Amino acid sequence: MAENVRSEDVLGQKWDRCVSDTVIKFASGLGLGIVFSVVFFRRRPWPVAFGAGVGIGMGYANCQHDFQSPYVQHGQKIKVSVAEM
């Protein structure tokens, strides 16, 4: 049988995953924007803002998908015994 998990814990795990994913994507976009700004665009500020915005947008889209799909198991192994089949 499935173990009893409180809904608050599931929601908390989703929020933690969303915040960490968004921060990582924001930092990656910001870093790539800085690199592109220095290397290709003669230190213009718009690639930095664009990269940060893309990172936040990707994180937001992932969070939206995570909250709207309640049956996704993230990184968990589901064991099925022969007796249950």
The pTM assigned to this predicted structure is 0.73
Tokens 């700004």 belong to which residue?
Answer: 37
The answer to whether position 29 is within a domain reads yes
Instruction: List the structure tokens of 63.
Output: 């969070």
Residue 1 has pLDDT above 50, yes or no: no
Residue pLDDT, tens place only, 20-79: 999 999 999 999 999 999 999 888 999 999 999 999 999 999 999 988 876 766 666 667
Q: How many angstroms separate the CA atoms of 22 and 63, rounded? A: 8
- Take residue 24 and report the two structure tokens written for it: 């990582």
Asked whether the beta carbons of 29 and 52 are under 8 A apart, the reply is yes
Residues whose CB falls within 8 Å of the CB of residue 66, separated by 6 or more in sequence, listed in order: 14, 17, 18, 72
Q: Flag whether 44 is in a domain.
A: yes
Q: Is 11 among the domain residues?
A: no
Q: How far apart are CA 26 and CA 33, in angstroms?
A: 10
- Number of structural domains the chain divides into: 1
Residue 60 lies in a domain: yes
Does 37 reside within a domain? yes
Residues 6+ apart with CB under 8 A from 54: 29
Range of the domain at 36: 18-69
